[in-house]
């Protein structure tokens, strides 16, 4: 079977990981790239040996010759680019956060559905191998019926040096980072019905909130806490680890700093090292995220080939994005917000 041909739009900070992922992927390769910044186009084009280069997405689509597009731009351009891809009938991956607003996200899902093209949101954190190991343990029944969970990401890592735009937006940590943790909560505990959130800005040099705490009511009756901070100065910096606490009727699961997965139940007490692989192109401490990029991209290829809906399709990710919107509304209005206000 011949390789699927991909085009990538947005050759910035994170796209380099995606280009490495595509280089390693089985069954796909990137044949064209696009960035409105010629300098980024040259850096990425030269590093990955891509000859077809465009500064305009319209020109890229007009020339065609690819089977899917991977949109790695920042959020403002997601809707116009996804709609452009849909107009050309091209299956599309779009980076998180899905869109600037829920209306935009719904319009993007509708445009792809009308054009009958798959849309996957690049929501890669649930593809991290430690998170998948935790999910497998929960699904095995080792801790019994889950009734409570916590998804936690607390750090003081300087994300602003690599991604300066994160310091300038009115929205910061919920939209950029908690979005991943909220998606993990859905992945582990099921869809949520309501959220109660509190936010704070501790760092005076940024515009948005850098601390957020969310209480989620899940449809199956599980309660979870999702807490994220970029203002937490720990003795050993855990970036970019997501930590888990899950309580079940028979025992407990803990994913703790250093990638230790501990399962405690009446018949066993087991601690496993679930540190992700360090791929040849990856670097500490980002290897956790970098491995998940490769895994979600391989999932996309498998789904395109088999005609299956990707796990984090646009349709699915509306639920995660609704949690983001509901969290901001809850914090602003100091009340519990039901997701049906957005869905
Ligand atoms: P960046 O600003 O470094 O890169 C974005 C690039 O897109 C820039 O080079 C810019 O010139 C280009 N661009 C923007 N609009 C364009 C358009 N209309 N046409 C062509 N090129 C355009 O940003 P980044 O840090 O790489 O983030 C990109 C996206 O990736 C964001 O949505 C961010 O939230 C997401 N991200 C995801 C993860 C993850 O783990 N999933 C990690 C970091 C960033
Ligand atoms: O995953 C992300 O979206 C990144 C980071 C982990 C640095 O917050 O922006």
173 lines ligand 2 (CB under 6 A): no
CA distance 308 to 42: 35
Q: With contact defined as beta carbons under 8 Å apart, do 126 and 184 qualify?
A: yes
72 lines ligand 2 (CB under 6 A): no
On the question of a cis peptide bond just before residue 178, with omega within 30 degrees of 0, the verdict is: no
What is residue 177's predicted lDDT score, i.e. its pLDDT? Answer: 98
Which CATH fold topology does 126-285+320-341 show? Dihydrodipicolinate Reductase; domain 2 (3.30.360)
Helices marked H in 190-313: 287-306
- pTM of the predicted model as reported, rounded to 2 decimal places: 0.98
Q: With contact defined as beta carbons under 8 Å apart, do 94 and 121 qualify?
A: yes
Q: Which ligand is nearest to the CA of 242?
A: 2
142 lines ligand 2 (CB under 6 A): no
Residues 217-265 have pLDDT tens digits of 999 999 999 999 999 999 999 999 999 999 999 999 999 999 999 999 9
The residue among 194, 178, 189 whose CA lies nearest residue 227 is 178
Q: How much of the chain is in helix, strand and coil states, percent to nearest 5?
A: 40, 25, 35
List residues bridging with 151 in a β-sheet: 226, 244
Q: Where do the domains of the chain lie?
A: 4-117, 126-285+320-341
Distance of CA 116 to the CA centre of its chain: 24
Start-to-end Cα distance in the chain? 40
Shortest-distance atom of ligand 2 to CA 125: 1
Residues 21-79 have pLDDT tens digits of 999 999 999 999 999 999 999 999 999 999 999 999 999 999 999 999 999 999 999 99
Evaluated on CA atoms 246, 230, 10, 33, the torsion sign reads: negative
Please name the residue whose Cα sits nearest to atom 10 of ligand 1: 10
Ligand 1: list residues with CB < 6 Å. 9-15, 34-37, 40, 57, 72-75, 77, 95-96, 122, 124, 163, 165, 176, 289
Q: With a cut of 90, say whether residue 158 has pLDDT above it.
A: yes
Residues 67-119 have pLDDT tens digits of 999 999 999 999 999 999 999 999 999 999 999 999 999 999 999 999 999 99
Residues 274-300 have pLDDT tens digits of 999 999 999 999 999 999 999 999 999
99 lines ligand 2 (CB under 6 A): no
Provide CATH code, domain 4-117: 3.40.50.720
**pLDDT classification of 1: cutoffs 50, 70, 90:** confident
**pLDDT classification of 267: cutoffs 50, 70, 90:** confident
Q: In angstroms, what is the span from residue 89 Cα to ligand 1's centroid?
A: 23
Which of 16, 57, 74 has the most ligand 1 atoms within 8 A of CB, as the residue to mutate? 74
3-state secondary structure of 167: helix
């Amino acid at each position: 079977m011949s390789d699927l041909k991909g085009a990538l739009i947005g050759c910035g900070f994170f796209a380099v990981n995606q280009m490495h992922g595509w280089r390693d992927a089985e069954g796909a390769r990137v044949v064209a790239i696009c960035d409105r910044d010629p300098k980024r186009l040259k850096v990425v084009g030269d590093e990955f040996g891509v000859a077809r280069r465009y500064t305009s997405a319209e020109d890229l689509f007009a020339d065609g010759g690819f089977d899917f597009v991977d949109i790695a731009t920042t959020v403002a351009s997601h809707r116009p680019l996804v709609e452009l891809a849909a107009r050309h009938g091209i299956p599309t991956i779009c980076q998180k956060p899905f869109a600037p607003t829920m209306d935009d996200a719904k319009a993007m899902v509708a445009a792809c559905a009308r054009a009958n093209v798959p849309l996957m949101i690049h929501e890669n954190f649930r593809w991290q191998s430690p998170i998948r190991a935790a999910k497998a343990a929960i699904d095995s029944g080792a801790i019994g019926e889950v009734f409570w969970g916590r998804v936690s990401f607390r750090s003081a890592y300087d994300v602003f040096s690599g991604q300066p735009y994160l310091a300038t937006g009115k929205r910061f940590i919920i939209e950029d980072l908690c979005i991943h943790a909220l998606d993990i909560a859905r992945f582990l505990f099921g869809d949520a019905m309501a959220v109660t959130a509190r936010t704070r800005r501790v760092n005076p040099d940024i515009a948005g909130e850098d601390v957020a705490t969310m209480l989620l009511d899940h449809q199956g009756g599980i309660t979870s806490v999702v807490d994220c901070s970029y203002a937490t100065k720990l003795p050993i910096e855990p970036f970019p680890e997501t930590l888990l606490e899950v309580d079940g009727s028979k025992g407990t699961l803990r994913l703790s700093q250093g990638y230790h997965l501990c399962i405690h139940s009446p018949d066993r007490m087991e601690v496993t090292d679930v540190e992700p692989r360090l791929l040849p192109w990856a670097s500490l401490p980002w290897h956790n995220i970098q491995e998940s990029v490769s895994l979600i991209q391989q999932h996309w290829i498998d789904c395109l080939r088999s005609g299956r809906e990707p796990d984090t399709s646009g349709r699915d990710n509306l639920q995660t994005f609704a949690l983001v919107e509901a969290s901001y509304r809850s914090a602003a209005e100091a009340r519990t917000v039901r997701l049906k206000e957005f869905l």
